[in-house]
């Protein structure tokens, strides 16, 4: 049985003061929530403050990106050593990182390995763009991304990685994938690829989230799908009012 995971990706939103207010609100609203992992991923600047806000609570903390080196001359970057004293999760290979900051499959794979070495749990994003979707390339493309992301990982390492299937055309657009179609892509391209690489046991252990315009009004349809174990949420994670129903839907 896979524990659902509902994660908020705040992207480049919230000052430290605003982040503390939102995280405090989420923490206080979910005290009685059990059976679902709740994770907040604020900007780097708010991680230290939120570590204190969330200490001893049932809400986990994650970063939105990470460099693969432990330290060095990489101006503007944040390393696994820096993150591991602040948080437990790290989003890697988000489509916005791939699209706007030239992240490659190879780089994402390197980061996943380093995150795991440091005890950080990666949330690895995959997903096709609109042109690929319309050309019927989704299954092959997403399968290829999964294969590249997990390249060289042991079965034990693979089993703790979380994958987020996020069709790029559904992110922040208000459009969502059809829940049954998303489930099929996850079953075939994500679990199917993992089954080829590691066998069925690992493929069934890996938690896979859906992401892309998840809102209180559509979350139940995604959570009802057998291969969808939660959601990676952008816009609707920016208020307690919108995020709380998503957490409850994960229960």
Which token pair is 4? 């659902």
**Restricting to residues 140-169, which ones interact with ligand PGA according to CB under 6 A?**
166
- Using Cβ positions, the residue closest to ligand PGA within the complex turns out to be 234
Q: Does 171 bind ligand PGA (CB under 6 A)?
A: yes
Mark the segment that binds ligand PGA (CB under 6 A) among 63-71, 82-90, 127-135, 227-235: 227-235
Q: Give min distance, CB of 169 to ligand PGA, in A.
A: 10
Catalytic, out of 18, 70, 94, 106: 94
Q: Does 179 bind ligand PGA (CB under 6 A)?
A: no
Nearest to ligand PGA of 46, 202 (CB atom): 46
Closest CA to 100 of 182, 189, 11: 11
Mark the segment that binds ligand PGA (CB under 6 A) among 17-25, 82-90, 101-109, 229-237: 229-237
From 9, 65, 133, 193, residue interacting with ligand PGA (rule: CB under 6 A): 9
DSSP 189: I
Q: Give min distance, CB of 215 to ligand PGA, in A.
A: 8
From 62, 80, 122, 234, residue interacting with ligand PGA (rule: CB under 6 A): 234
**Cα–Cα distance measured from residue 86 to residue 45, given in angstroms and rounded to the nearest whole number:** 11
3-state SS class at 78: coil
**Cα–Cα distance measured from residue 241 to residue 245, given in angstroms and rounded to the nearest whole number:** 7
| Crossing angle of the two packed helices 138-150 and 105-117, in degrees rounded to 10 | 40
Q: Give min distance, CB of 78 to ligand PGA, in A.
A: 19
221: buried, middle or exposed (CB in 10 Å: 19+, 13-18, 0-12)?
A: middle
Q: Where are the beta strands (DSSP E) in the chain?
A: 5-9, 37-41, 59-63, 89-92, 121-126, 162-165, 207-211, 230-233
Q: Site map for ligand PGA, 203-222, x if CB under 6 A?
A: --------xxxx--------
**Cα–Cα distance measured from residue 245 to residue 134, given in angstroms and rounded to the nearest whole number:** 32
Active site annotation includes 94: yes
Q: Give min distance, CB of 233 to ligand PGA, in A.
A: 5
Residue-by-residue DSSP string for 89-155: EEEES-HHHHHHS---HHHHHHHHHHHHHTT-EEEEEE---HHHHHTT-HHHHHHHHHHHHHTT--H
Active site annotation includes 13: no
Q: Give min distance, CB of 220 to ligand PGA, in A.
A: 16
Q: Does 47 bind ligand PGA (CB under 6 A)?
A: no
Q: Are 51 and 63 in contact (CB under 8 A)?
A: no
Which parts of this chain interact with ligand PGA (CB under 6 A)?
9, 166, 171-172, 211-214, 232-236
Q: Which residues are catalytic?
A: 94, 166
């Amino acid at each position: 049985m896979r524990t659902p995971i509902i994660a908020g990706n705040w992207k480049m939103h919230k000052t430290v003061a605003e982040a503390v207010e939102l995280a405090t609100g989420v923490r206080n609203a979910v005290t009685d929530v059990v059976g679902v992992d709740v994770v907040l991923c604020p900007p780097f600047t708010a991680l230290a403050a939120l570590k204190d806000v969330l200490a001893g609570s049932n809400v986990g903390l994650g970063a939105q990106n990470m460099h693969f080196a432990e330290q060095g001359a990489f101006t503007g970057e944040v390393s696994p050593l820096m993150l591991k004293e602040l948080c437990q999760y790290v989003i890697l290979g988000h489509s916005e990182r791939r699209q706007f900051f030239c992240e490659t499959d190879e780089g994402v794979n390197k980061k996943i390995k380093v995150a795991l070495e440091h005890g950080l749990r990666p949330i690895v994003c995959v997903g096709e763009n609109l042109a690929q979707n319309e050309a019927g390339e989704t299954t092959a493309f997403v399968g290829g991304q999964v294969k590249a992301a997990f390249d060289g990982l042991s079965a034990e390492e693979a089993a703790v990685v979380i994958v987020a299937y996020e069709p790029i055309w559904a992110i922040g657009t208000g459009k969502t994938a059809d829940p049954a179609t998303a489930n099929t892509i996850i079953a075939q391209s994500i679990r199917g690829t993992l089954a080829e690489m590691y066998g069925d046991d690992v493929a069934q252990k890996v938690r896979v989230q859906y992401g892309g315009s998840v809102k209180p009004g559509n979350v139940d349809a995604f959570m009802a799908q057998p291969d969808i174990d939660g959601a990676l949420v952008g816009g609707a994670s920016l208020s307690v009012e919108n995020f709380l129903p998503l957490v409850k839907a994960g229960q």
